[in-house]
Structure 1
Amino acid sequence: MKNMLIFLCCSFSLCVSANPKVQFVENLKAGEKQTIVTFGTSLTAVGAWVGQLQVVLNQQFPGQAKVVNGAQGGANSSWGKGALDKKVLAHKPDTVFIEFAINDAVERRKVSVEKAQENLEDMIRRILKQNPQCEIILMTMNVPVGHTGVQRPKIADYYQMYRDEAKRHGFKLIDHNASWKKVLEESPELYIQYMPDCIHPLYDGALKVITPKMIQSLGLEPGNAAKSEETPCFNYIYRTMDRLIEANWQVTREEYELFWANHFKMQDANKDGLIQSNEYPEEGIFKHFDANGDQAVSLEEYQKVYAYNFNKYDKKNTGVIMIKKDKFNY
């Protein structure tokens, strides 16, 4: 009987559990085929790490590993309970990765830590009922910053619940949150490049932070994750920009700047036309935006930081960024 791997994704940061070896990796080494389901929020649904993981597995175990992305943008654990049969169990996985903490923590959704734990336990019970040998891997994710962090004042409690659940069940925990905290503390300017909308890591954030942590925690060889060309998060964010003026699968500089002007307004809680430090609590990122050091960030300062990504992707200097016509789980 093949063992099933299910990844429940909510918050990301890698912690090695009491079990030093990951069963699905051992099964792959033994020549067995494995089905892996990733299950969680937009951090998984449009996470470039999913494609990067598939590429690394293909490099080391050609034709043996199938990674199915069962996540959904905007989802929390209540959605996960309802979607489990279709998105996870229908694939008869050997392993499942699970992460829902980041959206359970949104204060306005009124999902308590206790309720989130109850939902997670329900998913675990049903996965193991289908296949007692299925491997479940829990994940914590990145640190939401700016207005996305303000919306999640108790995110640390939800991530801790995932750590506690992993320990209680003897599951592997990948604690991406710890990795992202390190980047935030040491290179806040890099953090905002990796995660410009304050919550969704782009391709480089996955390649430099998420995927290496997964490879290390899973006991895989380093491989070359950069061979993956999937950029779902980039495509999702830029498709949102594309719809602001004219939906034509390309983003003009005007659309790009309008998107970030609207994003600025989300940070500006008191609507005074400036972002104060209490509106953007992450000191390092705030200082990165506050170019003149006057303890307030203007729209012009904000736009200057974000000009980086447009210039990076407008490689031919045409004033337009083209978007791939991909499907999104959002």
Structure 2
Amino acid sequence: MYPAFRVKGGSILERRQTCQGGPLLYPFPMNSRSIQQRLLFWLSRNFVRSALLLLIAAFSSAAMGSESSMSVQTSSFKIVAFGNSLTARSDWPSALQNAMSTCLAGPISVEVIADVGVTSTWAVNNVNRVIAAAPQVILMQFSENDAAINNIMSVDSSRTNIARVLGALRQGVPAARIVYMAMNPPHGFRGWMRPFLASYIEAHRQEAERRNVTFVDFRPHWNTLTNAEIALHIPDGLHPTTSKVSEIMVPVLLAHLVPDKDCRPHRSQ
């Protein structure tokens, strides 16, 4: 049986054929030239439509990406400095805040949760304050007073405390980046009071690395100084001067916290 054709609209023919599912309509052009023209028209129309849709999707995706990136740069970024008197009595937290704010051109806040003479036992009892602050970065240091002989704390006890603190931070603020720091080496009487400080730092380093916590050691930077310079910049044997501690610590911390940006101060020639 041959299908029947009839003209519709002067240019398109409908082929009507009966099958089990009912009549089927197939539009056909009247000649081979019309076939080519209409096929090219159909392809071009759909190609343009598809291209426009792809461009719109790409533009929307780029716009969303830019908005997300901008929110990261302009929203408040909080750091908590968690430690003993080397944090509580020092200006390096404020120096870091100023340097990061300048480098990133956005608001950065550094909150200090620290006290004088405290050990990692104090850290265990105060870790919830850090968690409640909900920081993006936590900078902590507790080795120095744990190692002081007058505090009568073994390396194992110190290790257990640091493990508890790091575990609590991992659970309480899982998205935060944690940095454990080994600070400046003590000297003189305060150095004699901490004969096994290196063992405490090593135990803390091991606990940090087990939990994928960044370990930053400032001792090599201090060890480049002469004995006379150490005495000048750490006059009481333990607490560095404001200018020197910021000069040493801030560039190192910036390199770890914002490695994709050059936040070093550029001196004019």
Q: TM-score range by the shorter chain?
A: 0.5 to 0.7
Residues 231 and 237 in structure 2, CA contact (< 8 A), matched pair in contact too: yes
Q: Are residues 133 and 207 of structure 1, via their aligned partners in 2, closer, same or farther at CA, if it must alter by over 3 Å?
A: closer
Query: Cα offset for 1:142?
Result: 0.8
Larger relative contact order, structure 1 or 2 (CA cutoff 8 Å, min sep 6): 1
Matched, 1:40 2:83: yes
> What TM-score does the superposition give when structure 1 sets the normalisation length?
0.55
Q: Distance in 1 between matches of 2:124 and 2:174?
A: 18
2:243 counterpart residue number: 204
The structure that has the greater radius of gyration is 2
CA distance in 2, matches of 1:188, 1:213: 22
Q: Deviations over 1:134-162 (max 9, x none)?
A: 21110001111000011001001011122
Indicate conservation of the 8 Å contact 1:59/1:223, yes or no. no
- Residues 1:68 and 2:111 are matched in the alignment: yes
Alignment gaps of 5+ in structure 1: 1-26, 226-330
Q: Which residue of 2 aligns with 1:244?
A: none
**Percent identity over the alignment?**
26
Higher strand share: 2
> How many residues are matched?
196
Letter in 2 for 1:182: T
Q: What corresponds to 2:96 in structure 1?
A: 53
Is the contact between residue 166 and residue 208 of structure 2 (CA under 8 Å) also seen in structure 1?
no
2:262 aligned to which of 221, 224, 249: 221
The AA in structure 2 aligned to 1:36 is I
- State the AA in 2 paired with 1:99: Q
Query: What are the within-5 Å matches in structure 2 for residues 1-330 of structure 1?
Result: 30-31=72-73, 32-86=75-129, 88-183=130-225, 187-218=226-257, 219=259, 220-224=261-265
CA spacing shift, 1:157–1:206, aligned 2, 3 Å? same
The AA in structure 1 aligned to 2:256 is: S
Distance 1:179 1:117, change over 3 A: same
State the secondary structure of the residue aligned to 1:161.
Answer: helix
* CA separation of 1:153 and 1:102: change in aligned 2, threshold 3 A: same
Q: Distance in 2 between matches of 1:47 and 1:224?
A: 21
**Bigger shift: residues 205-214 or 141-150:** 205-214
Aligned partner of 1:253 in structure 2 is none
Letter in structure 2 aligned against 1:162: H
Distance change (3 Å), C-alpha of 1:130 and 1:194: same
Shift of 1:215: 2.4
Provide, for residues 269-293 of structure 1, a one-character-per-residue CA deviation record: whole Å limited to 9, x for no partner: xxxxxxxxxxxxxxxxxxxxxxxxx
| Cα separation, 2, equivalents of 1:175 and 1:189 | 22
Task: Give the root-mean-square deviation of aligned CA atoms.
Answer: 2.2
Specify whether residues 118 and 196 from structure 1 end up closer, same or farther in structure 2 by C-alpha distance, changes over 3 A only.
same
User: Which residue number corresponds to residue 29 of structure 2?
Assistant: none
- What are structure 2's unaligned runs of at least 5 residues? 1-68
Alignment check: 8 A CA contact 2:147 2:194 kept: yes
TM-score by length of 2: 0.67
CA distance in 2, matches of 1:92, 1:102: 26
Residue 215 to residue 123, structure 1, CA distance change in 2 (3 Å): same
Larger mean CA deviation between 158-167 and 198-207 belongs to 158-167
